[in-house]
Chains A and B, each alone.
Chain A
Amino acid sequence: NAGVTQTPKFQVLKTGQSMTLQCAQDMNHNSMYWYRQDPGMGLRLIYYSASEGTTDKGEVPNGYNVSRLNKREFSLRLESAAPSQTSVYFCASSLRGGDSETQYFGPGTRLLVL
């Protein structure tokens, strides 16, 4: 099993450009998440999908959109990138999104917006 995979690993954008970050998991998990991690701050939840067909906002959703394409895939889109979106983005999944479940993370995407 590959676990959680993310593409691309690195990306440089200019302000105003758009891009989609891809995430896929092969663990048959129902819940998937997108986080961003900035220096000195914990991971912050952008959006999550408790199950296929549903998506909900997390703590910092502004400037992002998501699509839960199917059970395996959950993408994050930046419509008009801003320098404040420079960050490391992690996708994660868990079996059912329950309180005590482990989250499994992808390797991350490092995004620089100039």
Chain B
Amino acid sequence: RKEVEQDPGPFNVPEGATVAFNCTYSNSASQSFFWYRQDCRKEPKLLMSVYSSGNEDGRFTAQLNRASQYISLLIRDSKLSDSATYLCVVNKGGYSSASKIIFGSGTRLSIRP
């Protein structure tokens, strides 16, 4: 079983729709959680960190469920420019935590006009 699992998609939704992705992680001691966005043939860029209480940034909402070991990303009123691959990232923490960052393989989102 992968340490971080995501549905690869693609999710193909119309502009203006609401779309949600989940990501599950296997290590219950994981400390930090993030969503990164990666455009086609580009580098990943941080979209948002995920906090225990949940957090919102404009049209994007991220939530963490430690009991069930998953994080989610909700995109409201989707735009064509939201088309990208969304990477779930988990940091297991601990000593030398730089080596404990695990990337999911990503969920592809395509927004159609």
Contacts and interface: CB of A to CB of B under 8 A. Distances in A.
Contacts of A35: 103
B43 interface: yes
Interface string A32-67: 010100001111110010100000101000000000
B44 A50 contact: no
A98 B104 contact: no
A40 B8 contact: yes
B31 interface: yes
B99 A45 contact: yes
A107 B104 CA distance: 19
Interface size class of B (residues with CB under 8 A): 20 to 34
Contacts of A50: 96, 98
Interface residues of A, number: 25
Contacts, number: 56
A100 B97 CA distance: 10
Contacts of B103: 35, 42-44
A99 B31 contact: yes
B3 to A, nearest CB: 9
B22 interface: no
A42 B104 contact: yes
Interface string A65-107: 0000000000000000000000000100010011110110111
B87 interface: yes
B102 interface: yes
B43 A90 contact: yes
B98 A42 contact: no
Contact of B46 (A45, A90, A102): A102
* A-B pairs with lowest CB-CB distance, top 5: A42-B103, A97-B98, A105-B43, A43-B103, A99-B32
Interface of B: 4, 8, 31-32, 34, 42-46, 49, 87, 91, 93, 96-99, 101-106
